Amino acid sequence: MEKDNVCINCFSQIDKVAKLLKLGQAELDILTVPKRILTFSFPVKLDSGEIRYFTGYRVQFNDARGPTKGGIRFHPEINLEEIKTLAFLMALKCAVVNLPYGGAKGGVIINPKKFSEAEIERVSRGYIREIFKFIGPRIDIPAPDVNTDAGIMAWMLDEYEKLEGKHAPDAITGKPVALLGSRARDYSTSMGGAYVLQELAETLGMKPKKTSVAVQGFGNVGMNIARILHEFGYKIVAVSDSKSGIFNKDGLNIKEVIAHKNKTGNLSKFKGAKEISNENLLELKTDVLVPAALEDQITKKNAKNVKAKLILEMANRPITPEADKILLEKNIFVVPDILANAGGVVVSYFEWVQNSQNYYWSEKEVLDKLKTYMTDAVKELSKVCADFRCDMRKSLYVNAIRKILEAERLRGNLK
């Protein structure tokens, strides 16, 4: 196997369960080598008339359980190894919440803040032209991710349908409702995380009004989970974005915080709150910490200073494997990303189902179904954890990997 094709980070992710499940070489290959890796460059004409080439990726990790599924991110610091790892985690995530999907991920190396809306549209369309032959409703279904949204998915769908020569709304999810997107999709990741916390809180005896929460990251996911948990009665004591953060031990009025952010563009100078850095927010003494920003926020350098009782991973891979071990030793309860933030892909699945049937559900129907999927996954996890007597992340990995390998075995790809 070519070394460049192997997902190096995947080894550290599955190392904790490889011995437990007695994985052989063929099984390790399935779990560490993506089925397909696309790396390409494509030209885009900028507003100035200049031609700029952008690098894009799409990794389809495993499709034993169904067509691959995963977001597309626009970010200046993405690389192929990161995309491989995120595609692997998507495969696990879909298995954890029992969706008939495999895992994929994609992205473009770009800082979207430095380009106009028209330029971003041309990048979006150019990306789809490069991967068109490798995606589709029964092959690989893209969705939004970091720095991409429903508007970008609309451009991508339009470009796909032009190339396909017919309407294919089930080819891409996360679309605007007017283009047959699902209701509640824009906040589904956050709502799914809130449902998971709600289910676990009952088991752990955590009463919302007496539970303090700090949220790192105030983009779509962080802002919405802060809003939802505030509406559920939780006390949100701190929030932060990439520029600044605010703290009030008695709780923040999240509706007012959102209004302030929308008006001023940042969180600083919010009346009745102290300013706090992202680093200090992670180390606050709170009941619940919600990392909802980017990867690798809690590392071996700061893990020993984390004081939260429970961490809900709303970002993808916000805790490094080294930090995870430290948190486990400190008896901090971590709800891993492959469960905590799976609400987005669950509602993407609902969108795909609705598009395939050309039959659409109300927002209440979507949320009711989402709650069922998320709470069922928590209950299934509890049984696996009891069987294997292990921590939550290990239990989720065991559960997901067993499902993927069973599908491969039934297909005759494993003995």
Query: Which strand (E) or helix (H) includes residue 204?
Result: helix 188-204
Strands 245-247 and 274-275: antiparallel
Closest CA to 276 of 305, 251, 295, 248: 248
CA distances to 7, 34, 138, 292, 403 from 24, rounded to whole Å, are 17, 17, 30, 35, 16
105 part of the active site: yes
- The alpha carbons of the chain give a radius of gyration, in whole angstroms, of 21
Pairwise CA distance, residues 365 & 244, whole Å:
37
Pairwise CA distance, residues 238 & 301, whole Å:
22
Work out whether the CA dihedral 154, 159, 162, 164 comes out positive or negative: negative
Closest CA to 303 of 287, 286, 279: 279
Return the residue matching tokens 């009711």.
368
Pairwise CA distance, residues 60 & 56, whole Å:
14
* Residue 76 near residue 120 (C-beta atoms within 8 A): no
* Residue 274 near residue 247 (C-beta atoms within 8 A): yes
Pairwise CA distance, residues 79 & 309, whole Å:
33
**Which is the catalytic residue, given 69, 84, 93, 105?**
105
Return the residue matching tokens 């380009």.
115
Angle (CA) 23 25 27, round 5°: 55
Return the residue matching tokens 């930090």.
323
Helix (H, G, I), strand (E, B) or coil at 210: helix
The pair of structure tokens assigned to 172 is 């891409």
Pairwise CA distance, residues 346 & 70, whole Å:
11
Residues in the chain: 415
Residue 208 burial (C-beta neighbours within 10 Å; 0-12, 13-18, 19+): middle
SS (H, E, C) 182-202: CCCHHHHHHHHHHHHHHHHHH
Catalytic residues: 105
